[in-house]
Structures are given as C-alpha cells and as structure tokens.
Structure 1
Amino acid sequence: MMIAVVAVAALGLLGLMHWYLWRRLVRDVSRPGGPYRRTGTALALLLPALMLLALIGGRAFPLAVERWFAWPGYLWAALGLYLLLALLAGEALRPLLVRLRRPRPRAAAARPETARPEPAEPESAPPAAPVEPAEPAEPAEPVESAEPVVRSAAESTAESAVESVASRRLFVSRVVAGGAAAVAVGVVGTGTYGVLRGPRVKQVTVPLAKLPRVAHGYRIAVVSDIHLGPILGRAHTRRIVDTINAVQPDLITVVGDLVDGTVSELGPAARPLADLRARDGAYFVTGNHEYFSGAAPWVEFVRELGVHPLENDRVELPRFDLAGVNDLAGTAHGQGPDYDRALGDRDRTRAAVLMAHQPVTIHDSVRHGVDLQLSGHTHGGQLWPGNYLAELANPTVAGLERYGDTQLYVTRGAGAWGPPVRVGAPSDITVVTLASLHA
C-alpha cells in the first residue's frame, strides 16, 4: 500500500514538473496553433514517457530493446532537472526584465510663455448711437457630436496598451526560456562528456597505525560503480582498465555495482577486466545492483576473468589483511554481509582493509576493528544537488573520514547510473597510498 502511495505521489510530482516546463518553454513563448506550439506539446508528452520507460526498462525489456529509449529517456531526465532549476531561478528575474522592457513616458516639451501686454486704459468713447433691431438669424445647421471620435481614440489607446503588455510578456518569457535552455544544455552536455571521456585518477594518502614500515607507500587502485548497461559498454570498461594499468598499482579493488544487467547481456562488455594487472591481483565485492540481475552468475564470471571475489571472506596479503563483505541488498537473497565470517578469527595486530560497497556499514567495521573501509555506492551525488540527498542516507558521500579508529574512504565511482551525466561529482578511480606511522 505504501509503495502504491509513493508511486502515485511521484507520478503526480513528475506530471506537475512537466506541466510547468511545458508552460514556460512552450505555451508562454509561442502563438496558439503555431508549429512550435504543436511540436513542443508533443515533446512534452513523449519525453517523460521515454524517461519512465528508461527507468523501468532494465527489468521489463531485453538490453537490445532498452538501448532504444535509454539514451533519450535518461538524457531528458537530466536535462529536465536542470531546465526546471534554471526556470525557477529565472522566476526571480522576470520582474526586473519586465521593468527594463517597460517604455519610459516621454517628457512634455517645454513651451515658453508669451508675454501678454498690459491692458490699455479705456479711452472715453462718444455716446453710442442707437442700434437698430437685428434681423432674426436663420437657424444654424446641426453640428455632429464628436463623441464617437473621442471613444474611438480611447479604444485605440487601450488596445495599444494591451498589445504592448502582451509583447513585453512574450519578450520576457522568451528571454528566460532561452537562457534556461542554454544553461541546461551546457550543464548536461559538459556532464555527459565527463562520463563518456572516462574517469580521472585521484590520489589519496591514508596513514594506518598498524601498517609495517615495509608496506609504506603501498598503492591500492579503488574503482566502484562502473555500471555497465544499455549506455556504458565495452569501450567504457576498456578505458577504465587502461587507466588503472597505467598507474601500476600494487592491488586493485572493484567495490561493487559493476553491472546493470545479466551475464548473457553484459558479459562481453565486462571482458576487458581480464586485462587488469597488479602485483597482488584484483578483487571484487558485490554491490546492490548485482542482486537486481543475479549476483551469483556475476561472481562466477568475474572469477573466470581472473578477478577474485571476496564473499564475506578474507585474504592475508604479506603486509595486511584484505577482507570483503557482500552488499546489504544480498540480505533479501540470504547472501547479506557477514562480518564475523570475514573478520572474526583474524589477527588484530595486523592492519585490515575492508571492501564494502555501501558506506553505511562503517559502524560494523568499527566494531570489528577494521583500519580502513573502501566503499562506493553514493556516486558523490552524481547530479547536483543530489549530493544533499545522498548526505541524508550515507555517513560519508565522498572522500576520506575517520570513525573512531576506523577510516572510511568513499569513491565517487567510475561510471553513472541512469543519466550518463555527472554534475558537481566527477567520476574517478582512486589510488589509495597507504602510509606507515613507523616510516
């Protein structure tokens, strides 16, 4: 019942948003019945339909079909968001633009007063002669009333004023709509280029109290949220693999949300992961999206590619322990995180690095004496102002923070979910350099 209420509320909000966009971008800037009005109205109905299909497509359609509406649907989701924000900001500018556009009254021309001569003293006049009675004047022709002419001029003035106001409003609407469209297209275009270009390398140094001196400078490549799917495919994986190999890390950690689809659909897109190279190998833990399409087949597939899955498990590397836990989404499938199994019997004098997809598990890591947790999941918010929403659900959205004796590092991820767009949260592959306090 609650899910139905939320769904209806979300659809209502979506409908209200698109009505506002149609009003400001179509109705207010065009004449009724024109081609722009008809085309804009059709798009106002088509684009949200494509967006809804894109959002539910992964569970309802094969990947080959989903690709047809994923690009336009997801891009419109991002573009619609920034059109809405830009138009709302433009509402504050409307009164100013109306005032600037309003015609100024013309100043009346100064007319110099003509000096009037002083009235002359009346001279004494001779007595007036008797006046003969005048002939009665013939009646004058009736003069037509000037009232209709005066009314016609008033109506003309009123019509001119109305047309002036309408023209002023149309001008202001077009300026605001054009500015909003330019800003939104620029923001989304730049954000899309950032995703398709591929993630950039970010360097972070993390001191660990238990790390031996010999391990000082050990480098871990952290990559998360690749999100292979209907938009990001094999070429995206290849860019990520080449970027990681170029920095020559000692260890590679893939921290969940690798895919949005099945092995049969996306296996070829993930195959470049077999080319990952690091001295101590590459490791993988599940994210919540793996469970949407079947985590077990993906675990076996990445194992075949030479990437070692850590399912509530631990490996003792020469200088520290590396552990990994399943994502919280696996709980519904009987495959949730098990910290006791992964960390319960370890030697606590050794430093422990834990791979866990979601940052919210940090408190379990603190209780189990983990020195460093590596996470993803948040995308750094991906689309500003989404970072503020992400802060409500996650202890850390991006970067390095300390919780007691445990440090948490959250990468923004190397891909994008939904719209292939990032605004204010650029994608990254992080190289974490471990530092020993004894060095």
Structure 2
Amino acid sequence: MVVVFAVVALAVLAAFAALHWYAWRRMVRDTAARGSVARRVGTVVFVAGPLVMVGAFVGGRAGAPFWLERVLAWPGYLWLALFLYLVLALAAGEFVRPLLRRWLARGDAEVPAERADVRAAEPVAEAVGARTAESAGTREPVLVQGPEPQPTRTAVGPSRRLFVSRVVGGAAAAVAAGTVGYGAYGVLSGPKVKRLTVPLAKLPRAAHGFRIAVVSDIHLGPILGRGFTQRVVDTINATQPDLVAVVGDLVDGSVEDLGPAAEPLAQLRTRHGSYFVTGNHEYFSGAEQWVDHVRELGLTPLENARVEIDGFDLAGVNDISGDSYGDGPDYAKALGDRDTARAAVLLAHQPVMIHEAVEHGVDLQLSGHTHGGQMWPGTLIADMANPTLAGLERYGDTQLYVTRGAGAWGPPVRVGAPSDITVVELASKQA
C-alpha cells in the first residue's frame, strides 16, 4: 500500500513539474531573450510559485505557526488558481499559434504592386542621380545603367515566431489573471442568497412556509477570517430565517487559531435556533473542540441526534470522515425511534450520505461539501464523485438539496460555481 501511494505521489509530482516546465517555456523562454532581466524574473516566479504553494498546503498539516500559514496562504493558493487557468489558456493558444503565423505570412506576401514598383525604382533613381552629378560639366552625357533592383528587407524587429509567442503568452496571462481576479472577488465579497421552495408531503399546514437558512463550507482559515464570518452572519440575518443549519466544513484550523474568527456566529438571530453538524474538515481540525466551541457560541450541535421542531423533525449525523476517528454517523441513533408520520429533515455534510437517508425514510436531506466544483473544470470531477453536485434532486421518496457553500477551500477563488446561502422554504401540500 505504501509503495502504491509512493508511485502515485511521484507520478503526480512528475506531471505537476512537466506542466510548470511547459508554462515556463511558453511564457518565459519563448518570449524573453536569454540573459535578460525579464527571463530571470520569470524563471524566479515559476520556481518560487510552486514552492510557496506546496508550503501553503503542507503548513497547516505540519503544525506550522498560524502566522506562517497566513503568510504562505495568499501567494501559494492564488498561484495554484492562476497556474491552472494559465495552463488552460496556453493549451488553447496552441491552436491559435499556427493560425496567427499563417495570417502574418499572408500579410507579408500580399504587398501592393505600386509599393513594389516604388521599392524597385528607388535604387535606380539614386544611382542615376549620383552618376549624373559626377559627370556634370562634361560635353557629352553619360548614360549610366543602374544596378539590378534589390529586394527590400523587412524592418528590424522581433521575429515572427517571437511576436506570436508574445501575443499568445500575453493573452494567456491576461485571461488567467482576469479569471482568477473575478473569481476571488466573488468569494471575498461574500455569498449571495438563493431561495428555494421544497414541498414535503408530510409537512402539516401549520408549518407551511417554514424557512431554513442553509450555509455550508465557510472554511475559515488563514485567508477567510472574522470579517468573512461577519459578512456571512449579516447575510443570514437579513433573510430573517426561522432556523439556521450550518452543514459542516466551518473551519480549516484549530480553535486556538480560529476561535476569534468564528465569534460572529454568536450573532445569528432565528426563531427556532441555529444547528450544526460536522464536515470532513472539522475532523482535520479537532472536531471535538469545535463542537464544544460552537455550542459556546449559541449553536446546537446535532451529533447523531434529533430535535422536534413545530411540524417536523430535524436530525443531524456526523460526517462519514468521523469513522476514522471513532465518531462516524449513526443513523439509527438519529432517526431510529422517531414517529414516521412526521416529516424528517436531515443535516448531513456529504451528498453521498443520501442512500442511508433514503433507507431511514428521510423526507429532505440538506448537504454541502461539493462547493459546486468551486473552479471549472473541477466541476466535472466533483460531478462524477457526488450523486448531486448542486441543487435539488429526488432519490425515491427523499429529496436532496446540495448548497455550493459560502466560502472556498484552498484558493479563495470560484469559477463557474458561485457561493451561496440558500433559504429553503418548506411547503405543505395541505396548504
């Protein structure tokens, strides 16, 4: 098993190094003269970027001081996002290069006839004028045959290959920077509110219109801190929900480092309380400590537990990552002895937990985890790994809603998967 892991790791590192070499070649070697300042600076960037990125990912797991994590996080994670879209843009540019060269060659070949005649005549006129001046004062005119017309040369400048490389490289850099900049702005400005109505057959008329604010994947850490939490809380409170459901992956770090960043959660205002279930990242960050801390902030952790709300049961199970820590989901404990005539809403971090929810007669499962893929083309991979990437789908008699989440993991960038806080309004078919 260790050998297989080592082989896979080496293959990933080799592919990663090859892609960096390709990007360096196209962006630096092909566009800057050897020994130039631009080439030296570009090489330093392509060496330092991946090193800082690895440091950002490894720092937290290796127990690095939190201040060092914060120093490495911004450049490291942003380099990952920038590099991804730079490689994609350069790959697309490979199809543009031959077309651009052909277009430039055609432009050189299509020189107007009048311009060609003038170019050919200029050497003759200069030669005749010079010999006429030399023979001035003699009695007989001297007929001078001018030299053969010489083909004109293109003005000194970058070669066609260099010009094409600079155009494609510059365009790729602009596309990558613009994409990452727009994606980062979308994350840092805070999630938008999404509204959804979900009809439940067992929901009584009295509970019609009950609103649950679903928020997941806030991912407080070295980049997203207290200010981001405050934006999330303010956005939730503005919707005036009946209940708040925090569906896992609240943090990427310890209570010691991120406790102050989570404090604005104490400001959540609802009629029926705020509830929390663990995500996989809580288990990387000290799940037990975080469960205790969110309880201190006024949230109710649902650790394989259930509460009765007016008109329905609200249950929560631990994330499946907890199995490795002896703290996994227990559906029987959360749902086993309930009144099946009542509607049941289950909070479970990962969408793959829907199959157990179906077996236990859950009416609606609320999940997160996927980030909607966060950055295209990661959406394609996330879609294959999860039964539902984002949105509402039905599995037998159970409905599953997956929010894209409020924050971001790794790069604070989202492309093609905007962040959201979803207000789920429960609807009674009896209303």
TM norm structure 1: 0.87
Shift of 1:105: 5.4
Match of 2:224 in 1: 232
1:99 matched to 2:98: no
Shift of 1:4: 1.4
1:302 matched to 2:294: yes
Match of 1:349 in 2: 341
Shift of 1:198: 0.3
Q: Is the 8 A contact 2:207 2:310 kept in 1?
A: no
Match of 1:25 in 2: 27
1:252 matched to 2:244: yes
Alignment match of 1:200 (pick from 179, 192, 197): 192
Alignment match of 1:375 (pick from 364, 367, 375): 367
Moved more, 167-176 or 99-108: 99-108
Match of 1:116 in 2: none
Shift of 1:264: 0.5
Root-mean-square deviation (CA), in Å?
A: 2.1
CA–CA distance in structure 2, aligned partners of residues 405 and 416 of structure 1: 32
CA–CA distance in structure 1, aligned partners of residues 178 and 20 of structure 2: 20
SS at match of 1:176: helix
TM norm structure 2: 0.89
Match of 2:145 in 1: none
Change (3 A) 1:282 1:106: closer
1:325 matched to 2:317: yes
Shift of 1:62: 2.0
Shift of 1:106: 4.6
Match of 2:65 in 1: 62
Match of 1:15 in 2: 17
Q: Deviations over 1:9-66 (max 9, x none)?
A: 1111110110011001001111111000111111111001011111111112121111
Residue 5 of structure 1 aligns with an amino acid whose one-letter code is: V
Shift of 1:107: 7.0
Match of 1:2 in 2: 4
1:171 matched to 2:173: no
Q: Deviations over 1:379-418 (max 9, x none)?
A: 0000011110001110001000000000000000000000
Shift of 1:108: 6.9
CA–CA distance in structure 1, aligned partners of residues 311 and 411 of structure 2: 40
SS at match of 1:429: strand
Shift of 1:344: 0.4
Q: How does 1:72-111 map to 2 (within 5 A)?
A: 72-102=75-105, 103-104=108-109, 106=111
* Structure 2 stretches lacking a partner, 5+ long: 118-147
Alignment match of 2:304 (pick from 299, 312, 317): 312
Q: Deviations over 1:272-305 (max 9, x none)?
A: 1011110000000000000002100000000011
Q: How many residues align?
A: 396
Match of 1:221 in 2: 213
Match of 1:144 in 2: none
Q: Is the 8 A contact 2:214 2:424 kept in 1?
A: yes
CA–CA distance in structure 2, aligned partners of residues 28 and 251 of structure 1: 58
Match of 1:44 in 2: 46
1:405 matched to 2:403: no
SS at match of 1:326: coil
Shift of 1:74: 0.2
CA–CA distance in structure 1, aligned partners of residues 310 and 113 of structure 2: 93
Match of 2:136 in 1: none
Residue 109 of structure 2 aligns with an amino acid whose one-letter code is: R
Change (3 A) 1:242 1:105: closer
Larger Rg: 1
CA–CA distance in structure 2, aligned partners of residues 422 and 277 of structure 1: 28
Q: Deviations over 1:48-104 (max 9, x none)?
A: 101111111111212111111100000010000000111111111111100111111
Residue 430 of structure 1 aligns with an amino acid whose one-letter code is: T
CA–CA distance in structure 1, aligned partners of residues 364 and 13 of structure 2: 41
CA–CA distance in structure 2, aligned partners of residues 283 and 4 of structure 1: 41
SS at match of 1:431: strand
Q: Is the 8 A contact 2:365 2:398 kept in 1?
A: yes
Residue 51 of structure 1 aligns with an amino acid whose one-letter code is: M
Match of 1:71 in 2: 74
CA–CA distance in structure 2, aligned partners of residues 262 and 432 of structure 1: 31
CA–CA distance in structure 1, aligned partners of residues 244 and 6 of structure 2: 42
Residue 256 of structure 2 aligns with an amino acid whose one-letter code is: S
Shift of 1:2: 2.0
CA–CA distance in structure 1, aligned partners of residues 308 and 208 of structure 2: 17
